[in-house]
Structures are given as structure tokens and as C-alpha cells.
């Protein structure tokens, strides 16, 4: 029997696993062998992990990164049951989630039936309590501190932003800000998503040189940060916020939106700007370009080793 069956949709969600294995934990990343504990590290695998825990009668830890308000609105979850390994949902009459009702209703069921709900930030903890009505434990995760490190590099002029191309990531603000600088700096956007066409149109209208890239290798991603003049993180909503952490780790100046998770994890390293205030963003970009590299001291609590220690402390009571 394994100690932990670790459910994760990608390599990032397993960053702490090697460190935990070094401490003696037997952790399986796939298969259906029995384990003493299951953990679901993302919403994409929560339903599968809950079925596994029910099948093997082991406790489940459900890690909730965030609960986007535009999906839940002011509604409530539908009624969900797990019956013979299948989820059965009865739509609620009256006020329901705004969208993706089945997905977030199942997510609520998993959280409500888990032995514990863990979250990365105080902002997500508030969301879970308010929207799911559940207690949770804050266990911050990490960025890939093994990969993202400083190194001598030639900086390419311009602004870099890295994220999915969706409205809440707010890349349009970066393009608008670039249009107000003289000369207009090139904007490099790494990511893909439904907003690309609108962003391309905005850049063309404002005369901002803008490139879009996606599917970079891990090495290319690190190089993009190390060679950037400035990284702008304009998101309106995050559960943790990886992009500014990765940028600071490579000693690249950072401008970040003034939202709670950024304040919680970034300290005073970035130059903050006020959301929906293009003047504030332009001023932050000017200050960041003229200032020194950010302090990396703020990252000590979000390295892989630091997160592994938190997970070790949190997991071991279930394995005694």
C-alpha cells in the first residue's frame, strides 16, 4: 500500500513530490493501488480523486486554488451525490451558479466530503468560506524554484506578460499602457486563449508592436524571463499568482496589479499599480524601468523546499 495517491493534472502540481519522497513517503502519481491518503491538487482531478478515496476508503485532501467569482456568481451549488462511482446531480430550483454549474457543484461536493480542504492564499480561503461555506487550511504552494533562477543575460527592450489570454488576466491594460509610453515599447505576450484576436486588434489600433507566443519549452520559458526588460502582471484575480514569482526569481523587474494575493506573496519587490487606472500602470512601468532589480528575499517562503515542509507537516497526521 502506498502512503499517498497524488492526483495532479500537470508537472507543476507535483513539484513537492520528489522532496516528500526523499523524506520516505511512498507516493503514487498514477494507477489504482490502495493508499492511506489521497490528495487532489487541482479542480480538474478532484472528481476522480474523490471516486478513488471512496473506492479505497481513505481520507482525501482537496486543494482548491481559487473559486472564480464569474463562474459562481451569487448562486448556490446543485445537489450532488456519488452513487456507485458515478456523480448524480439534481439541478437546484432558484438561484444557481452563474455558469459551469455541474463542474463547480461537483467541486463543492468533493470539498464538502474531503477530510480537509487546503488553499494557497488568504484570498482563496475567504472565497471557500464564503462561497462553499467550508473551513479550510492555508497551505501555500510554490513556484518552480529549481528552474527559475537568475543568470547573466542580455535584456530585450519591452514589456513581457505571461498568462492565459482571458479577460481577467487583463493583458489589454499592458497594451494600452505601452501605447502611452514614448517610444512605444514592444509587448511580448506568452500564452494562448480566447482573447488573442481582441488583443491583436487592440495592439494594431493603438500602434503597439505586439507579439504572441505559446507552447514554449521549459528552457525557453526561463530564457524569456531572464531576457525581459520588465514583466507586467496585470491580472484582476488570482489564487496565488505564479508569473511575478517566476519573474522575481530571475531578477527581472516586475509591475503587478494591487490585488490581495500579489500583496500577500510579493511583499515590496514589485511596483504595484491600481486596477482600472492606466495612469497608475504607466507610472509603475516607468518606475520599474528606472529602478533596481527586485529583492529575491520575498521568495524564501514559496520555494519548493518551503512548500514541501508545509505539505509534510500537513500530510503526516493522516499517515500515522
Average pLDDT, the chain: 96
pLDDT at 274 over 90: yes
Q: pLDDT-derived band of residue 288, with 50, 70 and 90 as boundaries?
A: very high
pLDDT in tens, 224-272: 999 999 999 999 999 999 999 999 999 999 999 999 999 999 998 999 9
Global pTM?
Answer: 0.95
CA 263 to chain centre: 15
The kind and range of the H/E element at 87 are strand 86-90
Domains of the chain listed by start with CATH number = 2-142+303-318 (3.40.50.2000), 156-299 (3.40.50.2000)
Amino acid at each position: 500500500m502506498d502512503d499517498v495517491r497524488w492526483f495532479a493534472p500537470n508537472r507543476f502540481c507535483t513539484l513537492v513530490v520528489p522532496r516528500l519522497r526523499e523524506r520516505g513517503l511512498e507516493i503514487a502519481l498514477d494507477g489504482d493501488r490502495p493508499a492511506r491518503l489521497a490528495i487532489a491538487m487541482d479542480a480538474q482531478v478532484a472528481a476522480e480523486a474523490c471516486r478513488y478515496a471512496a473506492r479505497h476508503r481513505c481520507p482525501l485532501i482537496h486543494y482548491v486554488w481559487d473559486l472564480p467569482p464569474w463562474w459562481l456568481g451569487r448562486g448556490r451549488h446543485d445537489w450532488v451525490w456519488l452513487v456507485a462511482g458515478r456523480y448524480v446531480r439534481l439541478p437546484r430550483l432558484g438561484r444557481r451558479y452563474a455558469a459551469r454549474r455541474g463542474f463547480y457543484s461537483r467541486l463543492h461536493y468533493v470539498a464538502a466530503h474531503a477530510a480537509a480542504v487546503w488553499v494557497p492564499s488568504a484570498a482563496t480561503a475567504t472565497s471557500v468560506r464564503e462561497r462553499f461555506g467550508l473551513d479550510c487550511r492555508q497551505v501555500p504552494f510554490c513556484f518552480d524554484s529549481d528552474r527559475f533562477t537568475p543568470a547573466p543575460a542580455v535584456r530585450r527592450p519591452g514589456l513581457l506578460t505571461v498568462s492565459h489570454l482571458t479577460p481577467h488576466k487583463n493583458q489589454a491594460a499592458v497594451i494600452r499602457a505601452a501605447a502611452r509610453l514614448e517610444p512605444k515599447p514592444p509587448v511580448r505576450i506568452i500564452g494562448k486563449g480566447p482573447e488573442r484576436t481582441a488583443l491583436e486588434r487592440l495592439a494594431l489600433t493603438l500602434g503597439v508592436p505586439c507579439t504572441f507566443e505559446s507552447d514554449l519549452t521549459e528552457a525557453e520559458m526561463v530564457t524569456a524571463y531572464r531576457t525581459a526588460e520588465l514583466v507586467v502582471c496585470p491580472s484582476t484575480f488570482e489564487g496565488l499568482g505564479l508569473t511575478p514569482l517566476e519573474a522575481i526569481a530571475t531578477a527581472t523587474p516586475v509591475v503587478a496589479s494591487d490585488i490581495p494575493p500579489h500583496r500577500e506573496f510579493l511583499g515590496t519587490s514589485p511596483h504595484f499599480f491600481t486596477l482600472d487606472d492606466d495612469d497608475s500602470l504607466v507610472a509603475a512601468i516607468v518606475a520599474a524601468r528606472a529602478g533596481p532589480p527586485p529583492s529575491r528575499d520575498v521568495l524564501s517562503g514559496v520555494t519548493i523546499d518551503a512548500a514541501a515542509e508545509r505539505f509534510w507537516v500537513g500530510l503526516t497526521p493522516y499517515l500515522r
